[in-house]
């Protein structure tokens, strides 16, 4: 490239803006592939670490390859890199979705995508720096290019979690990034057309790809729904990407199922076994329950069970995701399942982080029910730590109790007992119990209090409160005979030694992944 073709005041701003945009795209591809992998396969720390490590390695390979490009081919090479990045990167979301839904080789496809995209991204900056060098000396070139590169990285890291993922979703974000790369290619192709061989033919081909990806952007939700249908047994009736999670609802006849980030949260045909056990055991074991706090439970099913106890006067529901509580409040299927629980004047909803809520509230509660998703990543695992349970303890009234869902003592045995042992670091009395939920398998809970919870007396107290006092409560699962069985753990679910889960260790994530991996492999 020769500087006389374009004046510096025109070429340099265009090239530096291109640096910023391609930096944005490069970071966004890393974040997108990591997030999709975590969505499908869990273990966010593993997939983010692996993706970033591989991506940087292939960027290094791309930077090395860039030295073989001759100076006279730099501009053409840069534009072709952008075109190929836009074409492959824009399709990356669809490729990953289809590979997971239709094949058993997801990691192969993900690795190939990381290799290609990482190498192309690694080529970009060295090539563009050599082009900019025609207008500046080396010191000025490095300062200008790296400044705009880092600025682009900052923008990408902010807009991905705050805007792109919540409002566009996986596939639309993928097409959007691809369109950014194609836009850079098209603009530079037109601007430097006098220096590009067969520029008109290339412009037509890139324009066709651009139109194709605009169509993909517009119909992205339909495309994702098509691929997601392969992931679920039943018909998908609702999908939504909230700022915090992917919400999918399926239906087959009367069986409604809720999935968050691909993980089953409840099945309408047997959810009552879970929620009756979660709510009524601690409620019956705790005297004078007037104020109840539910952490999670945005579907309203736990609140439905709490409202069967007329002595409860106030229920606070804390769920981070307003999209989830809106489903519980407004969607006709959810309202039918939870019997319009959120319409009760006793119920108040807070769309806040559970940890922050406990830190900031001045309220005391007679019962705290923790109905949160399993600790399958560090963001959720912090809500199963000793530090979190200390916050819970401070918000309990003098004779108050808490209960938490604790995953499966059979499928994730170490994780279950890790929760139990962590609670024992905070509470004087901790009692585990378990129930079989057909859609989940054997499931577990841990109840804790600062006062005595002696199982023989506890069983009698629960039986009396639930079945010998008026008004009579309606149950689909619980009866007087089944109560003692909830506190019996078979030998293959019995207590085993574990570490304590703390914020700085997050041991439970390892236990959880280890347990479920054995059954999913």
Give the range of the structural domain holding residue 53, as residue numbers without chain letter.
3-227
Specify if 254 maps to a domain: no
Examine the residue annotation and report whether 234 is marked as an active-site residue of this protein. Answer: no
Domain stops at, among 227, 255, 288:
227
- The confidence band for 291, taking pLDDT boundaries of 50, 70 and 90, is very high
CA 213, 219, 223 angle in degrees (round to 5)?
100
What's the CA gap between 102 and 224, in Å, rounded? 13
- Mean pLDDT score, 127-145: 76
CATH value at residue 122? 1.20.1250
H helix runs in 66-196, sequence order: 74-102, 106-132, 138-159, 165-191
Please write the tens of the pLDDT for every residue from 91-116. Answer: 999 999 999 888 889 999 999 999 99
289 and 170 belong to one structural domain: no
Specify if 184 maps to a domain: yes
The number of distinct structural domains making up the chain is 2
The structure tokens listed for 483 are 């109560």
Active-site pick, 371, 374, 377, 492: 371
Provide CB contacts within 8 A for 242, sequence distance 6+.
166, 321, 322, 323, 324
Specify if 245 maps to a domain: no
What's the CA gap between 342 and 325, in Å, rounded? 9
Lowest average pLDDT, out of 126-130, 215-219, 479-483, 493-497, goes to 126-130
Specify if 414 maps to a domain: yes
Per-residue pLDDT, 128: 80
Per-residue pLDDT, 2: 41
The structure tokens listed for 232 are 């679920």
79 and 200 belong to one structural domain: yes
Specify if 241 maps to a domain: no
220 and 297 belong to one structural domain: no
Please write the tens of the pLDDT for every residue from 354-378. Answer: 999 999 999 999 999 999 999 988 8
438 and 514 belong to one structural domain: yes
Query: What percentage of the chain exceeds 70 in pLDDT?
Result: 96
455 and 363 belong to one structural domain: yes
pLDDT for residue 4 is more than 50: no
204 and 280 belong to one structural domain: no
Provide CB contacts within 8 A for 98, sequence distance 6+.
227
Per-residue pLDDT, 401: 94
193 and 324 belong to one structural domain: no
What's the CA gap between 26 and 184, in Å, rounded? 13
Q: Which residues of 352-381 are buried (b: 16+ CB within 10 A; e: fewer)?
A: ebbbebbeebeeebbbbbbbbbbbbbeebb
214 and 301 belong to one structural domain: no
pTM score, whole prediction: 0.83
**Beta-sheet strand order (sheet of 263-267):** 235-241, 246-252, 255-260, 263-267
CA 37, 42, 121 angle in degrees (round to 5)?
25
CATH value at residue 356? 3.40.50.150
283 and 428 belong to one structural domain: yes
E strands, 211-364, in order: 235-241, 246-252, 255-260, 263-267, 291-296, 314-318, 347-350
**Beta-sheet strand order (sheet of 441-449):** 347-350, 314-318, 291-296, 365-371, 396-405, 441-449, 429-437
Per-residue pLDDT, 60: 94
Instruction: Please state whether 288 falls in left (phi above 0), alpha (psi between -120 and 50) or beta.
Output: left
pLDDT for residue 246 is more than 90: no
317 and 190 belong to one structural domain: no
Contact 99, 36 (CB under 8 A): no
Per-residue pLDDT, 7: 62
Domain stops at, among 201, 227, 253:
227
Consecutive H or E run containing 449: strand 441-449
DSSP 67: G
Per-residue pLDDT, 75: 80
């Amino acid at each position: 490239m020769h500087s006389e073709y374009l004046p510096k005041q025109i070429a340099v701003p265009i090239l530096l803006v291109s640096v910023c945009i391609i930096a944005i795209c490069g970071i966004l591809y890393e974040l997108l592939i990591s997030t999709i992998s975590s969505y499908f396969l869990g273990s966010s720390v593993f997939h983010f670490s692996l993706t970033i490590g591989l991506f940087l390695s292939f960027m290094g390979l791309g930077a090395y390859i860039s030295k073989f490009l001759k100076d006279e081919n730099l501009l053409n090479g840069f534009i072709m890199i952008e075109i190929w990045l836009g074409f492959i990167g824009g399709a990356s979301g669809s490729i990953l979705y289809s590979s997971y839904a239709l094949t058993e080789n997801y990691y192969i496809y993900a690795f190939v995508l990381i290799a290609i995209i990482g190498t192309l991204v690694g080529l970009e900056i060295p090539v563009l720096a050599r082009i900019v060098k025609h207008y500046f000396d080396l010191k000025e070139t490095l300062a200008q290019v790296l400044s705009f590169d880092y600025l682009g990285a900052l923008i990408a890291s902010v807009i991905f979690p705050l805007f792109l993922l919540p409002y566009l979703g996986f596939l639309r974000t993928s097409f959007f990034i691809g369109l950014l790369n194609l836009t850079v290619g098209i603009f530079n192709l037109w601007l430097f057309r006098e220096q590009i061989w067969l520029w008109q033919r290339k412009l037509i081909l890139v324009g066709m790809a651009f139109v194709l990806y605009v169509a993909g952007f517009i119909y992205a939700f339909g495309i994702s729904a098509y691929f997601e249908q392969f992931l679920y047994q039943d018909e998908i009736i609702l999908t939504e990407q909230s700022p915090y999670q992917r919400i999918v609802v399926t239906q087959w006849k009367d069986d409604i199922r809720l999935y968050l980030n691909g993980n089953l949260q409840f099945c309408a045909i047997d959810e009552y076994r879970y929620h009756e056990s979660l709510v009524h055991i601690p409620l019956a074991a705790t005297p004078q329950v007037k104020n109840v706090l539910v952490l999670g439970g945005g579907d309203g099913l736990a609140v439905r069970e709490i409202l069967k106890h007329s002595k409860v006067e106030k229920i606070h529901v804390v769920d981070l995701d307003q999209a989830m509580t809106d489903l519980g409040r407004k969607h006709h299927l959810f309202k039918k399942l939870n019997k319009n629980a959120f319409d009760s004047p006793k119920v108040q909803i807070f769309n806040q982080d559970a940890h922050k809520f406990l830190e900031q509230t001045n309220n005391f509660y007679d019962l705290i029910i923790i109905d949160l998703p399993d600790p399958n990543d560090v963001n959720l695992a912090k809500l199963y730590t000793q530090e979190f349970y200390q916050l819970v303890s401070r918000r309990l009234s003098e004779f108050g109790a808490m209960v938490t869902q604790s995953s499966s003592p059979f499928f994730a045995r170490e994780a279950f007992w890790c929760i139990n042992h962590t609670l024992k670091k905070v509470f004087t009395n901790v009692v585990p119990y378990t129930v079989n939920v057909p859609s989940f398998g054997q499931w577990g809970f841990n109840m804790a209090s600062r006062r005595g919870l002696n199982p023989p007396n506890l069983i009698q107290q629960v039986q009396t409160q639930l079945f010998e006092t008026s008004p009579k409560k309606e149950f689909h699962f619980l009866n007087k005979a089944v109560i003692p069985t909830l506190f019996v753990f078979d030998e293959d679910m019995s207590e085993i030694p574990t570490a304590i889960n703390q914020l700085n260790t997050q041991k439970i994530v390892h236990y959880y992944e280890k347990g479920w991996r054995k059954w999913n492999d």
